[in-house]
Amino acid sequence: MANNVDKQNVTRGGVWETAKTIVYAILLAIVIRSLAFEPFNIPSGSMIPNLLVGDYLFVSKYSYGYSKHSLPFSPPLFSDRFMGKAPERGDVAVFKLPRDNDTDYIKRVVGMPGDRVQMVKGRVKINGTIVQRKRIENFIDFRVGKSWPQYVEQLPNGREYRIIEQFGDFSPLDNTGVYVVPKGHYFMMGDNRDNSADSRVQRGTDRVGFVPLENFVGRAEVIFFSTDGSSSIWEIWKWIPAIRFGRFFRIIQ
């Protein structure tokens, strides 16, 4: 009988230890996700050529401090930001879409609080000065078998990055009025200028508008995995050819 009791205790102890290990692992994952890094994937082409559909990246949660949106499901535990730090012009950042405070968007910080931003024939104009850009080789989009005009754009603080203009400099969002960025808000734009719903869209069902600091989730840091989407989950034999190994550990500019 004693042996049976001992076996039962060992079994129960083993189950309890396993359960505790799982709980600790979950809690650790939540802490890391909330305070340090959170993985995101790119589902759309609005940040081409710098981020491609199928890229997986890490976002640093500590870069801008913490708000309710730093936590899973954005619980209303506190307002504003704790240990807040302002985004820098040129950062690629994940934020909660202001119109629903739920959907994750990723764009580039182009306009700072108080800036006057305008698009003039495809060129960004900040506080009356046209942002410099330089034509480089076309970007080849292998998904659709086409190439697009590509430029290197330089913001007033010296940050450089690539953009594309799929339809030239005369698409609907290439000529706009002047946007005055409110205090505590930021003007966000996609690097794929003709295929991005961003702060230029101020009305309608696709509106993004100005993004308040509270809505920032974190800064995009590095791509850790990438797939071109050509294989389904069950097509094991296609997994390796679909992986874009050349994009692994690429720092996001």
Both 89 and 44 in one domain: the answer is yes
Both 26 and 56 in one domain: the answer is no
- Which CATH number does the domain housing residue 217 bear? 2.10.109.10
Both 206 and 88 in one domain: the answer is yes
Both 26 and 132 in one domain: the answer is no
Res 234 pLDDT > 90: no
The yes-or-no answer on residue 46 being catalytic is yes
Tokens representing 12 are: 């129960």
The two most distant CA atoms of the chain are separated, in Å, by 88
Both 23 and 70 in one domain: the answer is no
pLDDT band at 209 (very low <50, low <70, confident <90, very high): very high
Q: What is the extent of the structural domain holding 174?
A: 36-251
Both 31 and 63 in one domain: the answer is no
Both 134 and 232 in one domain: the answer is yes
> How many independent structural domains does the chain possess?
2
Helix (H, G, I), strand (E, B) or coil at 11: helix
pLDDT digits (tens, 9 = 90+) for 40-49: 999 999 999 9
Both 22 and 63 in one domain: the answer is no
Both 127 and 4 in one domain: the answer is no
DSSP 93-133: EEEE-TTTS-SEEEEEEEE-TT-EEEEETTEEEETTEEPEE
17 vs 227: which has the higher pLDDT = 227
The yes-or-no answer on residue 171 being catalytic is no
- C-beta of residue 51 within 8 angstroms of C-beta of residue 192: no
181 vs 13: which has the higher pLDDT = 181
What pLDDT, on a 0 to 100 scale, did the predictor assign at position 231?
A: 83
pLDDT band at 82 (very low <50, low <70, confident <90, very high): low
Both 78 and 91 in one domain: the answer is yes
pLDDT digits (tens, 9 = 90+) for 162-196: 999 999 898 889 999 999 999 999 999 999 999 99
Which position has the token pair 């890490």? 58
Which of 196, 191, 225, 198 is closest to 54 using CA atoms? 225
Annotated catalytic residue: which of 46, 70, 196, 226? Answer: 46
Phi, psi of 42 (to 5 degrees): -100, 110
Both 169 and 73 in one domain: the answer is yes
Annotated catalytic residue: which of 70, 107, 196, 199? Answer: 107
Both 40 and 24 in one domain: the answer is no
pLDDT digits (tens, 9 = 90+) for 116-130: 999 999 999 999 999
Phi, psi of 224 (to 5 degrees): -110, -15
